[in-house]
Amino acid sequence: MRAILGPTTAALMLLSACGSLSDGVDYSDDRTAALIPPEIHVTPCSTVELVNFPAAEAGAAKAALDAACVVRRSPAFLTGVTARDWVPGCSLIPFVRHRAVTGASVRDAMADAGARFQLIYEDPGAVASTSVSAQSMRVRPERFQGWLTGDRDRRAALVNTLTHETTHLISEPGRPRVFRYTDRGQGSWWCPDRDLVSYGLGALAARTWLELSSEG
Ligand SMILES: [Zn+2]
């Protein structure tokens, strides 16, 4: 029997740690590079404060933020988001699926997500972690170094991460310290990544960027 849980079962944690370090990618954190002072980067989607970045990686962050914004506003991405229902978080009860929400509701929530946030160049012990109450995300240095290699898959991975973490910047209406979309407990058969708002939209953004950047 399959029970259905409502959104109130979404975890009330203040920090969302995403991805594991065991993804086969070599991780290097070059702390010898000089860091730039905090800098504001504005895209049509967000005003972003870049914190603790070396200069080259700050350039990668700006380019990736621009790319993620183009993707987020593209017809292909918006169509993909609205084409299906999504799961806002895993049920924390094993073998129980969480109730899904409509793609249209996710599209609307994403429309003004992360209007202003901090992007911090720092290893959070995962690929990335985001605080909804502080409106800040920490992304591991390897992601930005991957962008600088020019490798398309590694660039798509950063677009994926930025989009995924942006879903964690969305709070419950009137409750700025509560995530609307979580992924704690993700990856089980009753909560597959592809169905989650965070992982699903991240993967969709990566695919969309690969398609858009191969055209013209
Ligand atoms: Zn996540």
Mean pLDDT, contiguous 10-residue spans, the chain (216 residues): 39 66 47 83 98 97 98 98 97 91 98 97 95 97 97 98 98 96 93 96 98 85
The whole-angstrom separation of Cα 201 and Cα 60 is: 21
What is the predicted pLDDT for the residue at 13?
53
Spatial strand order of the sheet with 128-131 comes to 15-18, 128-131, 136-139, 116-121, 47-51, 39-42
- Among residues 98, 103, 71, the alpha carbon closest in space to that of 86 is found at 103
What is the predicted pLDDT for the residue at 170?
98
Q: Where are the domains of the chain?
A: 33-214
What is the predicted pLDDT for the residue at 17?
84
CA 5 to ligand 1 center in whole angstroms = 20
Reading phi first (left if > 0) and then psi (alpha if -120 to 50, else beta), residue 174 is in: left
Q: 120-155 pLDDT, tens per residue?
A: 999 999 999 999 999 999 999 999 999 999 999 999
CA 18 to ligand 1 center in whole angstroms = 4
CA 165 to ligand 1 center in whole angstroms = 6
Contact of 36 with 54, CB cutoff 8 Å: yes
The whole-angstrom separation of Cα 132 and Cα 169 is: 5
CA 168 to ligand 1 center in whole angstroms = 7
pTM > 0.75: yes or no: yes
Long-range interactions of 60-64: CB distance < 8 A, separation 24+: 60/144, 60/145, 60/147, 60/148, 60/158, 61/119, 61/121, 61/144, 61/147, 63/147, 64/144, 64/147, 64/155, 64/158, 64/159, 64/162
CA 75 to ligand 1 center in whole angstroms = 24
The whole-angstrom separation of Cα 132 and Cα 177 is: 6
The whole-angstrom separation of Cα 111 and Cα 24 is: 33
Q: 21-33 pLDDT, tens per residue?
A: 444 444 455 556 7
What is the predicted pLDDT for the residue at 12?
43
116-121 and 47-51 beta bridge pairing: parallel
